[in-house]
Amino acid sequence: MLFEVVRFYRVNRSLNNCSHIIKLFDFAIDGRIRNTYIDTSRIEAMWFRALLGSWLFVFLALFGWLAIHKSSEPTILGRYSVAHFALLMGVAALVIVSLLAQATFFYGRLHKVRREIMLVLSSILVSLIMVEVAIRVFDPLGISYFRESSRYQLDLIPDPILVYKHAPGLQRIYQRVSVSINELGLRDRDLEKKKKGELRILLLGDSVTFGWGVPVETTFGRKLETLLTSKLGHPVRTVNSGVGGYNTVQEQAFLKTYIDVIEPDTVILLYIRNDIELNEPPFDPWSQLALQGKTPPEVIRILVGKSWLYRLGVFALKYSRPRGLTSLDKNTRGLRESMNALSSIATLCLERNVRFVVFFYPGGRDVSTPNRESLSSVALLSEISSIGNRYGFPVVDIGTWWGQVEMRSITNSTIDPHPNKRGHDILAVGMADFLLAHGLIRRTEPDAR
C-alpha cells in the first residue's frame, strides 16, 4: 500500500513538471512570435518610411530639373512657357505633399493605414499593366495606328528637293498591309515607257493617295484605272505619287521634277486640309524620338507617349470635346505657300497641255458632314476655287460624295481616319464619273509622246 502511494506521488510530480515545461515552452513560443511580429512591424515601418523618402527625393529631383530649364518661348516669369510652368507647379504640389507625409502628425496617420495604402497602390499598378497589355493585344479602336505611322515616318529618307521621300525598293508591312516601293520612290509598279494609245494619269497627294491601311490593288488610283479602262476601251495607267504627310509645296516639287519622266495626260491633286502645314528641311524623324536636347515637358511626353493606354486617353480627351467653328488665317505662311504651289502646278500643266483637276478632301475626321461645313474648310475651299477660276481648272468638293454614309464604315478604324476599301471605292467612282462627265479625260486614244 505504501509503495503504491509513493509511486502515485512520483507520477503526479512528474506530470506537474511536464505541465510546467509545457507552459515554459508555450511562453517561449509566444514570446518568439511576439518578437517576430514586432520585428516584422519594424521592417514594414522602415520600408514605408523609405518609400515615402524615395518619393520625396524623386519629386525634388524632378522639380529641380524642371526649375533650372528655361523654355524656348517663355511667357511666365520670363523663363517658363505655360505648359512648362503648369508642369512645374504640379511637381511642386507633389513635393509639398511628400514633405507633409514626413511630418510626425501625418506620418502617424499614414503609418496606421500603410498596408491599405500599399494594397491600393499595388492594385492600381497591376490594373494599369493589365489594361496596357490588353490594349496592345486586342488593339481596340485601332490604336496601333500611332505606332505604325511612326514606323512609316522613320522609314522615309531625306531628299534635297522633296524634303523627304520613300526609299526606292523598300519592302515593308504597315497596318498588316504589304507595301512595295518602286525605283522612283512610289508605291506603285515600276514605271515603263509610255505605250502608244496609253492614257496616263498622275495622282498627287499624301497618305490618302498613298493608300494607307489598304492593299495597293484597292486604292482609288488602281480602281480609277480599272473603271476608266473599261469605259474608254483603251489602256489607262495611273501613277500613284502619294507620300504620307506631303503638302502642296512638295507635290509641286515632285511634279516639276518628274513630269517629263512620267508624261501624264492628266494630273489629279487630292487636296487635304492639312496640306497647308509646313514641312521644312532638314528631315530627321529620329531626332523627334531622341531625348537629347528636349525640354523637360517634351521628354516626359515622349516617355509617357510610349504607352498605348496614354494614347487612347489623349485621343478620347481630344475628340470628345466639342469643336466649334474656326476661321482660316489667310496670312499664315503655310497657306500662302500652298496657294503659290497650287498656282505653279496649274501653270506647269497649262504649259505642257496637261489637264489638271483638284479634288478637295476635307481630311481627317472632318470628312463627316457637320465638320465639313466648318468655316475653315469653307474658307480653304474658297481659296482653292479662286485659284481654279484664275487658271481654269475645276475644284471638286468630294465631301458631298459620302452622302448619308456612316463615316466609321468607310475609314480604317475609329482612330485611323484614312479611307478603307469602301472609302477608296467611293473616291474612284466619284472621280471617274466627274472626269468623264466634264471631258477631263480623252475618250479617243492619245498619241504617244
What is the C-alpha to C-alpha distance for residues 174 and 151, in angstroms, rounded to an integer? 8
Amino acid 369: pLDDT: 44
Average pLDDT score, the chain: 85
Amino acid 41: pLDDT: 65
Parallel/antiparallel/unpaired status of strands 236-240 and 266-272: unpaired
Amino acid 7: pLDDT: 47
Q: Residue 221: is its pLDDT beyond 70?
A: yes
* pLDDT confidence bin for 37, thresholds 50/70/90: very low
More confident residue, 71 or 123: 123
Q: Helix or strand or coil: residue 181?
A: coil
Amino acid 20: pLDDT: 52
Q: Helix or strand or coil: residue 211?
A: coil
Amino acid 404: pLDDT: 79
What is the C-alpha to C-alpha distance for residues 291 and 300, in angstroms, rounded to an integer? 9
Interval 121-140: pLDDT, tens: 899 999 999 999 999 999 98
Which residue is associated with the grid cell 502617424? 108
Amino acid 1: pLDDT: 46
Amino acid 328: pLDDT: 80
Helices (H), 362-420: 369-372, 375-391
Amino acid 289: pLDDT: 83
Interval 370-404: pLDDT, tens: 444 466 788 899 999 999 999 999 999 998 898 77
3-state secondary structure string, 214-240? CCHHHCHHHHHHHHHHHHHCCCEEEEE
What is the C-alpha to C-alpha distance for residues 223 and 217, in angstroms, rounded to an integer? 7
More confident residue, 445 or 105: 105
- C-alpha atoms less than 13 angstroms from C-alpha of 13 in its C-beta half-sphere: 6
Q: Helix or strand or coil: residue 75?
A: coil
